[in-house]
Chain A
Amino acid sequence: MSEAHRFGSGPVQAAGPWSRYLFTGAVVVLCLWVLVPIYLLLVNTLSSPEAVATYPKRALPEFDTQSLAFFMNYAGVGQALWNSIKVATVTMILSIGAGAPAGYALSRFDFRGKDTFRVLVLMTRAFPLPLLALPLAVLYIRIGLDDSILGLALVHTTLALPFAVLITFSLFSGIPIELEEAAWTLGCNRFQAFIKVILPLVLPGIAASAIFAFVISWNEVFAAAVLTIEHRTLPAFLLQGLAESPLHLKFAGGAVLVLPALLFIFLVRKYLFSMWGIANR
């Protein structure tokens, strides 16, 4: 059976040639839409300082790595990169660990306080972090969490938690409860049914929300700049001066921030994509 058959809009090959062209055209345009700006960033990154300031701009890079080399040799970049990875990983684990159970509870049970909880979770995203940083920093200094990977990861987890809770909530909601009930009648208890039936189905989705958590932590600057000193993450370390640096360094710095994130998404794309497999299992 054709693989495409199971998808919503139906198999493309069934449509006429015009709609096929339209389809391909739309896909190509959307790909360009995403890629061209990134390409332009790379053009500027790989151009000499003079070329970055010239007009009209060239469409092709000169492959001048001078600006990138500056960052590679910038004291402390490696350490900052490593700190970023550590903070983001801890954030990822914490936010899924705390968020997925909550998402499951929201989707499966009716209980008092459910809506309050949902709104509470969302509030964390709706209130500007820069204002929260001050009381948090005071708290951290007092209890000794200041300038630690864990402390920053805890703050990033609050930022990522709404994503983890809501995404897992909608994933669990999409799985018919009958599946679980069938497992119960076959002698599984609630926990076993969850592990054996539900978890495999939602694992890719959970991986996707873990990826969000990672990316959110990766890109967060303000709290990182306030709460870490010796364990600065890459954005806090680099971005502080990027906006005011000379043009060529601004672009190269932008690329230094963007590239690891692209690489990360590339590495974990399998989890983002395996979401398709599930419906057919």
Chain B
Amino acid sequence: MIIKKNTLAAALATGITLLAAGAASAEVLFWSTQARPVEEAQAMRDQVLSGFSGDVDFQPSENGPWLTRVDAETQAGSGKIGVLGSLHGNLISLSDNLADMSDIGVDGVNSAFLELGKLGTDQQKYIPWMQATYIMAANKKALEHLPEGADINALSYDQLIEWAKTMAEKTGSPKFGFPAGPKGLKHRFFQGYMYPSYTNSMVTKFRSPEAELAWNKFKELWSYTNPGSPNFSFMQEQLLTEEVWVAFDHTARLADAFNTRPDDFVAFPAPAGPTGRGFMPVVVGIAVPDTAPDMAESKALVSYLLEPATQIETLRATNFFPVVDVELPDDMPAAVRMSGAAIATMSGSADANPGLLPVGLGDLGGKFNAVYVDSFERIVLAGQDVRTVLDDQADALRKLMEEAGAPCWAPDVASEGACPVD
């Protein structure tokens, strides 16, 4: 018993000493949901942040712990986090607790992204950090099955369906892959690609006949899609193992395939539908919480991250593209060159129909995504009736838009007051 007590006391003492040691440090804690994969985190520390004048402690974490920690610091009124790095969707719900960053120089930063970063206020709540979008990738083996006359750089959804069908029939197993897994970014496909391509809308025409057609087309595509897709979240994995030959995903989630075997894969734009080639740029922002221990140092780090040289290193480390105008050197990784070219073709195409990330939803952003994911799971996975599901989900969507009072954004036509759902 006595021995036990001593060990206990020793343990307590260790804990307390460590506690004291922790408080003395002056590093900026960079709390990020991005660059989580171990190699990217390593590259962020070694190549990107090592050039900063001060010390940075880069800690990437999953959404759950990330959010919990930020919330806890906000509630406690003090904290350790110096800089937050996360998706628009996560930062939008923290709006009230982010410091204004209007005083940071933002020369050359895309103005549409800067506007997004205001989160519907008149302050610069976050500053764009890096951007990405979604494209298609294919194994070169798949190209011989392309439908006659189809141009891979100007594909339509009908051609994609035919292509997927031919591949499934010729090879005996479905070779199209879709990131429908738990961490897959499927909602962005429906919001930014399918809906704009078929309805020229993301919200207003949610339950329109055009939308019904789109979902039926998607169901058709799904029947030639690898049935393991509900387990796929990073299509680079299945492309590399050749479980699938053709896939849609986020550029950063295809990068490993392009970098590992650049000669075996091609990158190309997302397909087009009746109302154009819908696509959606996504943005990752950096923000400083009100509770940052050293506001000046945090803002210095934000400025550093926006420098062109840092942005290029960040691109190398994470496969996310710069938000400022930079001249890319020639020695960029294969993934950057390949997806860069595909993005340029996509946004430069005559029928390009870019959509914007949802704005003004506050902490309802997650529920907004859920409307699309639920529709997918009910229509496609559970095989429920398209009309019924769309009517159901449209009610949920309308309620959300009204609760948030969010006006429409592109490609929907700007609205007075909450964006209507017809």
Contact = CB atoms under 8 A, between A and B. Distances in A.
Tell me whether chain B's interface is mostly helix, strand or loop, or mixed: helix
A238 B38 contact: yes
A106 to B, nearest CB: 20
A55 B36 contact: no
A78 interface: no
**Residue among B11, B42, B46, B76 having the largest count of chain A Cβ atoms under 10 Å:** B11
B314 interface: no
A222 B64 contact: yes
A238 B37 CA distance: 9
B45 A75 contact: yes
A242 B19 contact: no
A147 B62 contact: no
Interface string B55-73: 0010111101100110111
B340 interface: no
B7 to A, nearest CB: 6
A133 B71 CA distance: 11
Contact of A130 (B12, B16, B60, B68): B68
B408 to A, nearest CB: 33
A205 to B, nearest CB: 17
B203 to A, nearest CB: 30
A279 B4 CA distance: 26
B57 A229 contact: yes
B8 interface: yes
Given A90-B15, A93-B11, A225-B65, A244 B37 contact: yes
Contacts of A147: 19, 22, 80
Given A230-B22, A240-B61, A241-B36, A97 B4 contact: yes
A137 interface: yes
Contact of B12 (A54, A150, A242, A249): A150
A93 B7 contact: yes
Tell me whether chain A's interface is mostly helix, strand or loop, or mixed: helix
Interface residues of A, number: 51
B241 A241 contact: no
A226 B73 CA distance: 11
Given A90-B11, A245-B38, A145 B19 contact: yes
Nearest to B239: A53
A229 B59 contact: yes
Contacts of B183: 243-244
B352 interface: no
Interface stretch (B91-99, B230-238, B304-312, B371-379): B230-238
A50 B41 CA distance: 22
Contacts of B57: 229-230
Contacts of B234: 244
A241 B233 contact: no
Contacts of B64: 130, 222
Interface string B238-267: 001110000000000000100010000000
Interface in A229-262: 229-232, 236, 238, 240-247, 249, 253
The 9 A-B residue pairs with the shortest CB-CB distance, nearest first, are A150-B15, A137-B72, A225-B65, A241-B36, A141-B76, A148-B19, A245-B37, A53-B240, A90-B11
28 contacts: A50-B260, A71-B38, A75-B46, A90-B11, A93-B11, A94-B11, A97-B4, A97-B8, A130-B64, A137-B76, A140-B72, A142-B76, A148-B18, A150-B18, A151-B19, A225-B65, A225-B69, A229-B29, A229-B80, A230-B22, A236-B61, A238-B38, A240-B62, A242-B38, A244-B36, A244-B233, A247-B240, A253-B38
Interface of B: 4, 7-8, 11-12, 14-16, 18-19, 22, 25, 29, 36-42, 45-46, 57, 59-62, 64-65, 68-69, 71-73, 75-76, 78-80, 183, 233-234, 236-237, 240-242, 256, 260
